[in-house]
Amino acid sequence: MPSSDDELRHLKQALEIPSGQEWEGAIRLLIRLMGEDPARQGLRRTPLRVKQSLQFLTGGYRLDPAKILKRRFAVKHDEMVIVQGIDFFSICEHHLLPFFGTCHVAYLPDQEIVGLSKIPRVVDAFSRRLQVQEQLTTQIAEALNEHLKPRGVACVMEAQHLCMMMRGVQKQNTRAVTSAMLGVFRTSEKTRAEFLTLIRSR
């Protein structure tokens, strides 16, 4: 049974940001395990480039949805607000391969609204992490629900997954669709149908 000191040490290690040398050493090891020579001319700078790429693609860990949604406005508007066709890119946590597509988000304000540009920022904050699409969809909806306190939130995501396209079943035209409905979007069939009709008409 590990002691509390051991648990604290492991937690601290997990939260430490790896140095550039650790990143590049790990990537060189991967290249060798693939059967290549990381010292080959075309691969010499690959560890640095991959490190920079992965740091960008997982930048969502360094974004706080609470801060993104902190500035809100008291506006008399009780109709649906929709931001649709938000492009997103993420990385499958099972195979470390990309999945990408579009996200449609709606909410019914109660007393406050948020700047429209903040909603794609929230999508980025959660998508630029190691993810599964089902969890990603729920996280976006729950963050808006928690910080805006609206009467309801809806999120629909449509994506293509390279882990299905390049390996496994190898079905290049398959799309995965996930949804999260909270508040009146869950309880009111009419509200939910209005949202789904509007995003399908684009």
Catalytic residues: 92-95, 133, 161, 163
Look up tokens 């996200």; give the residue.
103
64: three-class secondary structure by DSSP: coil
Q: Determine contact, residues 108/152, Cβ cutoff 8 Å.
A: yes
Tokens coding 79: 């109709």
CA distance 90 to 42: 27
Structure tokens at 166: 């390049």
Spatial separation of the C-alpha atoms in residues 129 and 15, rounded to whole Å = 15
- Would you state the structure tokens that stand for residue 58, as one six-digit string? 């997982």
Is the CB of residue 58 less than 8 Å from the CB of residue 130? yes
| CA 58 to chain centroid | 9
- Rounded CA gap, 198 and 125, in Å? 25
